Amino acid sequence: MLHRLDDNWRKGTNTFSRRGEILLGAFSGDALVGICGRNIDPYGHDEAACRVRHLYVQTACRRSGVGRLLVETIASDAAEYFDRLNARAPQGALCFYERLGFMRIENDPHVTHRLPLHEAVTRPTLALPSP
C-alpha cells in the first residue's frame, strides 16, 4: 500500500493537493508509525464526497488508538469541503470504521462505509413569555 502511495506521489497522480485533500502522518518520536489521507473520492462523479486513502498503521502500533486518531483528524474538518467521507475497508477493518460512526454500505464495489458529514442538528428553543 505504501509503495502505491509513494509511486503516485512521485508521478504526481496523487499529491493530496486538491481542494480539501490532506495527507497526515503519526509519529512516535522520529519514527513514522501511521499514515492516512483524504482525497476527493476518485470513484464517484461527485466532488461532494471524499475518501479515506492509504490508512496504514505499523503492526506494533495497532490497537493503540493511532488509526482512530488519524481517521478522526481527517474527518474533523472534512465538512468544510465535503458532504460525506467514504471508505473501502478490508474484511478485518469493517468493525473499526463502524466504531468510528461510519455506516455500512451494501452493494457498492467502491465503498464499504460512509460517514455523513452534514447531519441536521435540531436545537431546542426556549420560548420566553411576552412582558
Number of Cβ within a 10 Å radius of residue 107: 5
pLDDT score recorded for residue 119: 61
CATH at residue 29: 3.40.630.30
Residue 71 counted as domain residue? yes
Confidence of residue 118 (pLDDT cuts 50, 70, 90): confident
Note down the domain range covering 97: 2-116
Residue 54 counted as domain residue? yes
Residue 47 counted as domain residue? yes
Residue 17 counted as domain residue? yes
Residue 78 counted as domain residue? yes
Q: For 66-80, how does the pLDDT look when each residue is reduced to its tens digit (9 = 90+)? A: 999 999 999 999 999
Q: For 9-60, how does the pLDDT look when each residue is reduced to its tens digit (9 = 90+)? A: 999 999 999 999 999 999 999 999 999 999 999 998 888 999 999 999 999 9
Structural domain total, the chain: 1
Q: Minimal CA–CA distance to 22: which of 60, 64, 61, 75? A: 75
pTM of the model: 0.85
Confidence of residue 110 (pLDDT cuts 50, 70, 90): very high
Residue 24 counted as domain residue? yes
pLDDT score recorded for residue 30: 95
Q: Minimal CA–CA distance to 38: which of 2, 72, 4, 89? A: 72
